[in-house]
Amino acid sequence: MTVVVLVGTLDTKGLEYGFLRDRLRENGVETLLVDAGILGDPRVEPDVTREEVARAAGTDIEGLARARDRGVAVAAMARGAGEVVKRLHAEGRLDGVVGLGGSGGSSLVTRAMRELPVGVPKLMVSTVASGDTRPYVGESDVTMMYSVVDMAGINRISARILSNAAGAIAGMAKAEVPEVGERPLVGATMFGVTTPCVDAARGRLEALGYEVLVFHATGAGGRSMEALVRDGFITAVLDTTTTELADDLVGGVLSAGPDRMEAAGELGIPQVVSLGALDMVNFGPPDTIPKEFEGRLFYEHNPTVTLMRTTAEECAELGRRIAKKLNAASGPLTLFVPLGGVSLIDTEGQIFHDPEADAALFGALRENLDENMEVMEIDTDVNDPAFARAMADRLHEHYGAWSREGTNAGVTR
């Protein structure tokens, strides 16, 4: 039968987990209850005890209790729970995972959930699900469900919410995925100002026999693509829109972190890279922009997103950082440079058109890239359909040569 694993602190939420477990069984699934609590005895009998979870983390309950440090204890039990759910999944005893709680419980349980591969159903019923869920979801496919009321006993509201949750995770765990083919997966990055480019490149790649996963370059999007590369799902990258690096450099709100644009190079899979939207840094509404940027050139993209033009100095540093990342790549790689503009609003006559800043970006790349790096400088803008098709065709050529060489770095062609 389908098995749903429940992970939680059974010393404080045992009653609620028992109710959820019973509703799951009514939905026709088997359950395994994993106890990640440390404060007291579990209020419902677990299938995997807290002692087992602590051992999986390389520690013991007594030591965590003596330390009297809640943060250390939560981190340890989250680590141990992650090891437990990975083992259960590997043994074929986990078809979905569910948890419930407040901020602490959500942090613990979702950290364990993120140890599972993308596609394994994950549902977190949480009091914090109506706010910023990035710390809990990360780059994974954790589904957050707002609990409306605190998970403090069973009442007419929590009973309805938890019954809905049981039906949701049971349905996800039992759902069968239809056959969609085994075409090679390509990861592509896109922003609104590079959409025409990615649409054209995606169409070309699909015609050549690839399945293209498009990621919105919003920080989370770039991290998600890199995670799928590292997990072996994506075997080629069309990194058209590298704008998240600008946010990381300058302090915008859509940074994907300093490790962005490194996973494909480390694994040696084929890449075609461009400079899409490096003319901008992203902020929220105008009144949220830090005062240090007063006097800069801004463009209100929509009521919640304000764009700031990168300067020549910032573009030069971006060129140096990109060159360092590309120089370290171990697989087939081509950099495409659109000399006529890196976004829809960086072309002649548009608000972010700044030949000096673009020249600083291009110049820094030329100065810092290895001599043997393949660079295609094309006298058009990034959204020219011919530019997009050229990138797609070069990626296809790289993939063909790479796939004929066999398996590398644990990635299956």
The predicted pLDDT at position 209 comes to: 95
Question: Is the predicted pLDDT of residue 326 greater than 70, yes or no?
Answer: yes
Question: Is the predicted pLDDT of residue 318 greater than 60, yes or no?
Answer: yes
Establish if 410 belongs to a structural domain. no
Q: Which residue has the higher pLDDT, 304 or 166?
A: 166
Range name among 31-40, 166-175, 176-185 with the lowest pLDDT average: 176-185
Establish if 412 belongs to a structural domain. no
Residue 158 shares a structural domain with residue 258:
no
Residue 162 shares a structural domain with residue 195:
no
Residue 237 shares a structural domain with residue 135:
no
Per-residue confidence band for 134, with pLDDT thresholds at 50, 70 and 90? confident
Picking from 174, 208, 238, the residue at the C-terminal end of a domain is: 174
Domain of 150: which CATH number?
3.40.50.12020
**Domain extent at residue 361:** 185-404
CA 70, 73, 78, 79: dihedral to nearest 10 degrees?
Answer: 150
The predicted pLDDT at position 317 comes to: 98
Establish if 409 belongs to a structural domain. no
pTM: 0.78
Establish if 338 belongs to a structural domain. yes
The predicted pLDDT at position 115 comes to: 94
Establish if 103 belongs to a structural domain. yes
pLDDT in tens, 280-314: 999 999 999 999 999 999 999 888 899 999 999 99
Q: Which residues contact 356 (CB under 8 A, 6 or more apart)?
A: 312
Q: What mean pLDDT is predicted for residues 191-200?
A: 96
Residue 65 shares a structural domain with residue 11:
yes
Judge contact between 198 and 188, C-beta under 8 A: yes
Residue 194 shares a structural domain with residue 279:
yes
Question: Is the predicted pLDDT of residue 389 greater than 80, yes or no?
Answer: yes
Question: Is the predicted pLDDT of residue 408 greater than 50, yes or no?
Answer: no
Question: Is the predicted pLDDT of residue 375 greater than 50, yes or no?
Answer: yes
Residue 233 shares a structural domain with residue 146:
no
Both tokens of 238, joined, read: 């069309």
Work out the percent of the chain whose per-residue pLDDT is above 90: 83
Number of Cβ within a 10 Å radius of residue 176: 5
Question: Is the predicted pLDDT of residue 33 greater than 90, yes or no?
Answer: yes
Q: What is the mean pLDDT of the chain?
A: 93
The predicted pLDDT at position 63 comes to: 83
Establish if 162 belongs to a structural domain. yes
Residue 164 shares a structural domain with residue 201:
no
Residue 203 shares a structural domain with residue 230:
yes
Residue 138 shares a structural domain with residue 272:
no
Distances (CA, A) of 311 to 20, 193, 302: 54, 18, 22
DSSP state of 234: -
Residue 254 shares a structural domain with residue 306:
yes
Q: What mean pLDDT is predicted for residues 98-122?
A: 94
Residue 324 shares a structural domain with residue 284:
yes
The predicted pLDDT at position 392 comes to: 98
Establish if 180 belongs to a structural domain. no
Domain of 229: which CATH number?
3.40.50.12030
- 238 forms beta bridges with 188, 272
Total tally of structural domains belonging to the chain:
2
Q: What mean pLDDT is predicted for residues 379-404?
A: 97
pLDDT in tens, 60-105: 888 887 777 778 888 999 999 999 999 999 999 999 999 999 988 9
pLDDT in tens, 211-269: 999 999 999 899 999 999 998 889 999 999 999 999 999 999 999 999 999 999 999 99
Residue 97 shares a structural domain with residue 216:
no
- 307 forms beta bridges with 282, 299
Picking from 174, 197, 212, the residue at the C-terminal end of a domain is: 174
Picking from 174, 196, 212, the residue at the C-terminal end of a domain is: 174
Sheet of 333-338: strand order equals 211-216, 185-190, 236-239, 271-273, 333-338, 374-378
Length of the chain: 413
Both tokens of 143, joined, read: 């589904």
Per-residue confidence band for 409, with pLDDT thresholds at 50, 70 and 90? very low
Establish if 326 belongs to a structural domain. yes
The predicted pLDDT at position 406 comes to: 66
